[in-house]
Structure 1
Amino acid sequence: MSLANGLYQDRSSPLHRVPAGVKVLALVIVGTVVFLINDWRILLAVLAGVTALYGIARFSPRVLWAQIKPLLWLLAAFFAVQLWLNDWQAGLVVVTRLASVVLFAGLVTLTTRVSVMLAALERAMTPLRVVGVNPEKVGLAFSLVLRFIPVIASVASEVREAQKARGLDRNMIALSVPLIIHTLKMADDVADAIEARSYDPIEKA
């Protein structure tokens, strides 16, 4: 199961009992803090801490590996770019940041039912109606992101395998362009489907 199929797995653990709103807030905080840290040693400590949380949540190493495996080639590409432009330390900073956020996001989705998470998000956004924010639209956007993470990871894997057969698996342009085109096409199809159904979250509000 990837972050993707990222879906709740029932366990009897302390993390499963933490309220959804607290976990979503923690994800926002972690996602913000890691991008404020530039020391790769501290980031490695953060990554080790996130990894340890999987044990606390009673997930096996196999589940942990499944969260990060689809992104390995992307992490390798980021590291290579930073190594070329800067040095290995800059590459390690970028990779540990992304890995920490992905693993923590995976942990949140694995320990929280999506419906509960979205409900908590909408409740948290309700006070922002006075400044024009529509909680239902935010919830819809968030649910689409969760839905498409696995799809995009799957497409990325398919593109990589196809380009590998052509001997282009190390060519970042050959990997990135088809993925971007597929992603934009999917986004366009989803937008058309929503419009065809005349779905308007504002009316629900």
Structure 2
Amino acid sequence: MLTGAYVARSSVLHRLPAGVKLLTLAVACVALLAVREPWSVGVASAGTVVLYALGGIRWVEAWAQIRPLRWFVLVILVVQVLVTDWTTAVSLTSRLVVAVALAGLVTLTTRTADLMAAMERGLSPLRRLGVDPARVSLVMSLAIRSVPVVAGIAQQVRDAQRARGQERNVKAFAVPLVVGVLRYADTLGEALQARGMDD
């Protein structure tokens, strides 16, 4: 299993506390919901590019964060064009890509252990309501780690498709992808069960 997307650098973003980055990410995603005008989306996109530069993230590392979304975004764009207009469609899909890119930036500049610790601290007041912050942070950590794993499985399936000359066969892509993801889920479940966390 991959250990997360963290890349070691000595940038300003790497030195920021994980809690600050998570809070900023939450605020930024909420702010993106209010963005409608194309120029505002452009400003948000440019700001994201600047943040990646401040974090010392290479283009290939940045592209890896949004690359798995390309087909999903294309489908959303087409659907939105059919039900609304070009401006709304481009605005919606651009905001989605920016939000994913910002989340990717957090994982690229923050160790998973630091993210988990920050989430546990942030959720600690919910202990009184019966919430276990450690378990919630574990689930979030597994979700973060699973994204590159699933993307890797999809890429392997796509490569196998090309090798067999079946690039346009949806079934040849969907079935192996689902099987691969289910196998990964089974492996993950067995690992959690071995650690007594299967409940």
> Into which bin does the TM-score normalised by the smaller protein fall?
0.7 to 0.9
TM-score between both structures, scaled by the size of structure 2: 0.82
In 1, distance between residues paired with 2:198 and 2:155? 34
User: How far is 1:61 from its partner?
Assistant: 2.8
Q: Does structure 2 conserve the Cα–Cα contact (< 8 Å) formed by 1:51 and 1:64?
A: no
> Which residue matches 1:114?
112
Q: Deviations over 1:95-116 (max 9, x none)?
A: 2122111211121112112211
Moved more, 49-58 or 153-162: 153-162
Q: Does structure 2 conserve the Cα–Cα contact (< 8 Å) formed by 1:7 and 1:114?
A: yes
The 3 A distance-change label for structure 1 pair 138 and 62 is same
> Which residue matches 1:141?
139
The 3 A distance-change label for structure 1 pair 147 and 28 is same
2:18 to 7, 17, 20: 20
> Which residue matches 2:7?
8
In 1, distance between residues paired with 2:71 and 2:119? 32
Q: Does structure 2 conserve the Cα–Cα contact (< 8 Å) formed by 1:8 and 1:114?
A: no
The 3 A distance-change label for structure 1 pair 167 and 120 is closer
Q: Secondary structure at the match of 1:34?
A: helix
The 3 A distance-change label for structure 1 pair 10 and 122 is same
Q: Secondary structure at the match of 2:33?
A: coil
> Which residue matches 1:60?
58
Q: Deviations over 1:39-87 (max 9, x none)?
A: 3432232121111111112223333223222322222222122223333
> Which residue matches 2:124?
126
> Which residue matches 1:83?
81
In 1, distance between residues paired with 2:69 and 2:112? 22
1:37 to 26, 35, 45: 35
> Which residue matches 1:48?
46
Cα RMSD for the two superposed structures? 2.7
User: How far is 1:183 from its partner?
Assistant: 3.3
In 2, distance between residues paired with 1:33 and 1:19? 21
TM-score between both structures, scaled by the size of structure 1: 0.80
In 2, distance between residues paired with 1:117 and 1:159? 31
What amino acid is the match of 2:81? Answer: L
Q: 5+ unaligned residues in a row in structure 1: which ranges?
A: none
In 2, distance between residues paired with 1:163 and 1:31? 36
What amino acid is the match of 1:122? Answer: E
Q: 5+ unaligned residues in a row in structure 2: which ranges?
A: none
In 2, distance between residues paired with 1:178 and 1:87? 35
In 1, distance between residues paired with 2:174 and 2:111? 32
Q: Does structure 2 conserve the Cα–Cα contact (< 8 Å) formed by 1:43 and 1:97?
A: yes
In 1, distance between residues paired with 2:174 and 2:38? 27
In 1, distance between residues paired with 2:186 and 2:37? 39
User: How far is 1:119 from its partner?
Assistant: 0.8
In 2, distance between residues paired with 1:160 and 1:87? 32
The 3 A distance-change label for structure 1 pair 32 and 136 is same
Q: Does structure 2 conserve the Cα–Cα contact (< 8 Å) formed by 1:24 and 1:108?
A: yes
